[in-house]
Structure 1
Amino acid sequence: MSLKWLEWAKRIQSLSQSGLTFSKDVFDLERFEELRTISVEIMEEHTGLEMQKIKELFANEKGYQTPKMDVRGAVFHEGKILMVRENIDNRWALPGGFCDIGLSPAENIAKEIQEESGYIVVPTKMLALLDMNKHPHPPQPFHYYKLFIQCEIVGGEAKNGVETKGVEFFPEHDLPELSLNRNVESQLHTLFDFEKNPTRATLFD
């Protein structure tokens, strides 16, 4: 679960970014800029990352800050779920990623699944909308919502993508080592429960 210092840093960053967006007074802008610097210093102290790298990642956005949307596909075949091996950590995740501007959630997940696994799919049902902070993911610099959409394969074949180096289907009780930034075991079990109980209502935090 999220650490307290990380929650403070994210909250200070969010408030400072909003202030920099909407404030007109030059002295208020200076104060909000100082708050953003404090949020970066907190991250630097507790992560060991260089301040410039944190600024680029954590404090370089514009406008009112809102949670980021991560969409993941649940594709079942013969009782197994589709997963891809991520290049970045050599671990396994449901295909998906951040939603792109200009595409709907359904369009995003269909694109991500084809790019990462080679399969062409049709989205059929939104299974869950979860708050990353309420699940046992590693600490993250941003606040994420995770959208899980069930899809059916209508074409294509297993094929590695630019960001992936493995495409396989796994049974519920023989899951691979998971990429925990992207999905955790309890979420996978929830998705298998939807496969067993297709009339189950959409889950949300």
Structure 2
Amino acid sequence: MSLKWLEWAQQIQAISQSGLAYSKDVYDIERFKELRELSAEIVAEFSNKNLEEVKKVFINEEGYQTPKVDIRAVVFKEDKILMVKEKSDNCWTLPGGWADIGLSPSQNAVKEVEEESGYIVKPKRVLAVLDRNMHPHPPNIHHIYKLFIECELIGGTPKPSVETSDVGFFSKDSLPPLSIGRITEAQLQKLFECNGKENVEVLFD
């Protein structure tokens, strides 16, 4: 769940970024730069992140601050769900990642499945739009929205990638160790509840 210090730091960063985008007064610009510096120091102090690393992330942001978008593909084969094993932590998640500029949400989902698993899919429907801060993920510098898009399996063969070391289908009762920075068991169980149902309400928040 969201930590209060992280929530404050993200809000300060958003205020400073908007101020730097729209302010013309040189004194206001300096104050907003100080706020951005303060937000980075808060994150570095209460996390294991290096201050300079945090500053690079914050300074690279321009314009009005908005959440980043993480897109995850939900691919069922009968009663099992497609998952990939991340090389970064040797744990499992749904295929996906940051939304790429120039691609629609569904195009991103299709691309990520093929790149990370080797399978070919076509998009069907949105199952969930979740605020990462409202779920028990580890803290993250960014405020992130997670889009879960159900896709139909139409071809391909399992093939790991530069980011993934294994590919597999798992039932809800035999899930592998999860990469909880990317997916939680509770989220997966909610997605399993949608499997095979024609009319389901989109999960949100």
Paired residues of 2:36 and 2:58 also in contact (CA < 8 A): no
Q: Is 2:87 the counterpart of 1:67?
A: no
Query: In structure 2, what residue type is equivalent to 1:24?
Result: K
Paired residues of 1:13 and 1:59 also in contact (CA < 8 A): no
Map Cα deviations across residues 97-144 of structure 1 (whole Å, 9 max, x no partner): 111111000101000000000000001111111111111111111111
Alpha-carbon offset, residue 94 of structure 1: 0.2
Q: Which runs of structure 2 are paired with 1:11-26 in the superposition (5 Å)?
A: 11-26=11-26
Give the corresponding residue for 1:9: 9
Aligned length: 205
Q: Is 2:140 the counterpart of 1:140?
A: yes
Whole-angstrom CA distance in 2 between matches of 1:72 and 1:134: 17
Q: Is 2:166 the counterpart of 1:166?
A: yes
Whole-angstrom CA distance in 2 between matches of 1:148 and 1:202: 10
Give the corresponding residue for 2:152: 152
TM-score normalized with structure 1 length: 0.97
Give the corresponding residue for 1:83: 83
Alpha-carbon offset, residue 85 of structure 1: 0.3
Whole-angstrom CA distance in 2 between matches of 1:106 and 1:48: 34
Alpha-carbon offset, residue 196 of structure 1: 4.4
Whole-angstrom CA distance in 2 between matches of 1:79 and 1:58: 42
Aligned-pair identity (%) = 57
Alpha-carbon offset, residue 198 of structure 1: 3.1
Gaps of 5+ in 1: none
Give the corresponding residue for 2:181: 181
Map Cα deviations across residues 8-57 of structure 1 (whole Å, 9 max, x no partner): 11110110011001100000000000001111111121124322111112
TM-score normalized with structure 2 length: 0.97
Query: In structure 2, what residue type is equivalent to 1:171?
Result: S
Large movers: runs of 4+ above 2 Å: 57-60
Alpha-carbon offset, residue 197 of structure 1: 2.9
Whole-angstrom CA distance in 1 between matches of 2:99 and 2:65: 16
Give the corresponding residue for 2:45: 45
Whole-angstrom CA distance in 2 between matches of 1:158 and 1:185: 23
Paired residues of 2:118 and 2:158 also in contact (CA < 8 A): yes
Give the corresponding residue for 2:125: 125
Gaps of 5+ in 2: none
Give the corresponding residue for 2:96: 96
Whole-angstrom CA distance in 1 between matches of 2:139 and 2:130: 16
Query: In structure 1, what residue type is equivalent to 2:30?
Result: E
Instruction: Name the SS of the counterpart of 1:124 in structure 2.
Output: strand
